[in-house]
């Protein structure tokens, strides 16, 4: 897939071409069928393929209760989405130089495809969580999903703030490790086993790099565009960017605090076992 590049420089983020783009911002529904396809695919995986393959490949799956089966299937979906979206995100950050050169207005078909995948997944997971709220409902996760959908929909349909949307997708790289921790726990691995301890430490480390350490880098980039002429012409999109990402960062800080506490308990348990 190709991206439309512009002639702006990374330091100014402003040109006559950008200004013309800003004046002609309009709703673009081109990729909404991709969103619908992604949504349908993840519902199909959740309802049919994931349970069938899990029953064939995981010997303990048949002993899971209904809540565990629902959670298991949604976490498989989550891992598939995160790996796919995270990989494309990293590729774009490396290969698509136009994205960084034009962080406020830029049309990239690969980014729009990636956003369509993640929006379809988030919608499917939100629907599943609402249906099974008493089993797996989590207000923080649902808030995270809804806020993300709201922000990504702007980028998908209006081509605004593309660099920042792609940057936020880096956070997906930590999700598979979070899910692996849950899989190991559900399969009754000892919390002091090598697999559990290594995954827990790696999970916390990756989460820190892609969600916590990334925060000052992200907000510095916001600052560099906020002092350019084009920023003042971005209207309410500026407030969507700032408010949505502030909410997401608060949620990520809350999750990270829980991870750190979990890691400390785990390390104390391992240390006590070795020296008890």
Give pLDDT tens digits for 256-267.
999 998 888 877
Is the per-residue pLDDT at 24 higher than 90? no
Specify the pLDDT at position 6. 42
Q: How would you classify residue 106: left for phi > 0, otherwise alpha for psi between -120 and 50, otherwise beta?
A: beta
Q: Each residue of 221-259: pLDDT tens digit?
A: 999 999 988 898 888 889 989 999 999 899 899 999 999
Specify the pLDDT at position 18. 54
Specify the pLDDT at position 140. 82
The alpha carbon torsion through 68, 257, 119, 131 (nearest 10 deg) reads 30
Q: Residues near 186 by Cβ (< 8 Å), separated by ≥ 6?
A: 64, 68, 71, 72
Specify the pLDDT at position 72. 98
The distance of Cα 171 from the centroid of its chain, to the nearest Å, equals: 5
Q: What is the mean pLDDT of the chain?
A: 89
Specify the pLDDT at position 22. 55
Specify the pLDDT at position 10. 43
Buried b (16+ CB within 10 A) or exposed e, 145-155: bebbbebbebb
Q: Tell me the average pLDDT across 206-216.
A: 96
Is the per-residue pLDDT at 273 higher than 70? no
Tokens of 45: 């995986």
Q: Where are the domains of the chain?
A: 28-274
Q: Each residue of 129-175: pLDDT tens digit?
A: 999 999 999 888 898 899 999 999 999 999 899 999 999 999 999 99
Q: Each residue of 57-104: pLDDT tens digit?
A: 999 999 999 999 999 999 999 999 999 999 999 999 999 999 999 999
Specify the pLDDT at position 8. 41
Percentages of the chain per state (helix, strand, coil), in multiples of 5: 80, 0, 20
DSSP-derived 3-state class of residue 5:
coil
Is the per-residue pLDDT at 202 higher than 90? yes
Query: When comparing pLDDT for 119 and 16, which is higher?
Result: 119
Query: Which whole-number Å values give the CA distances from 222 to 137, 163, 187, 215, 267, in the listed order?
Result: 33, 10, 43, 11, 37
Tokens of 24: 């002609």
Tokens of 5: 């590049």
What is the pLDDT confidence band of residue 50, given thresholds at 50, 70 and 90?
Answer: very high
Query: When comparing pLDDT for 10 and 13, which is higher?
Result: 13
Specify the pLDDT at position 20. 53
């Amino acid at each position: 897939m190709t991206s439309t590049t512009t002639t702006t420089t990374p330091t100014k983020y402003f040109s006559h071409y950008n200004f013309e783009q800003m004046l002609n911002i309009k709703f673009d529904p081109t990729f909404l069928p991709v969103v619908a396809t992604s949504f349908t695919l993840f519902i199909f995986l959740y309802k049919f393929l994931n349970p069938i393959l899990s029953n064939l490949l995981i010997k303990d799956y048949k002993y899971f209760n209904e809540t565990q089966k629902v959670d298991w299937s949604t976490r498989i979906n989550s891992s598939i989405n995160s790996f796919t979206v995270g990989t494309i995100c990293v590729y774009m950050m490396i290969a698509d130089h136009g994205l960084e050169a034009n962080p406020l207005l830029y049309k990239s078909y690969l980014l729009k495809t990636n956003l369509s995948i993640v929006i379809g997944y988030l919608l499917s997971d939100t629907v599943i969580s609402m249906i099974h709220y008493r089993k797996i409902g989590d207000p923080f996760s649902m808030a995270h999903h809804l806020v993300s959908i709201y922000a990504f929909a702007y980028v998908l349909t209006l081509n605004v703030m593309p660099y920042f949307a792609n940057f936020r997708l880096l956070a997906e790289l930590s999700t598979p490790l979070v899910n692996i921790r849950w899989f190991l726990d559900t399969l009754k691995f000892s919390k002091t086993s090598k697999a559990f301890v290594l995954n827990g430490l790696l999970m916390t480390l990756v989460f820190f790099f892609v969600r916590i350490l990334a925060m000052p880098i992200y907000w510095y980039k916001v600052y560099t565009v906020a002092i350019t002429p084009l920023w003042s012409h971005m209207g309410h999109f500026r407030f969507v960017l700032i408010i949505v990402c502030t909410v997401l960062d608060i949620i990520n800080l809350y999750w990270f605090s829980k991870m750190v506490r979990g890691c400390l308990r785990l390390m104390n348990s391992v240390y006590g076992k070795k020296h008890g």
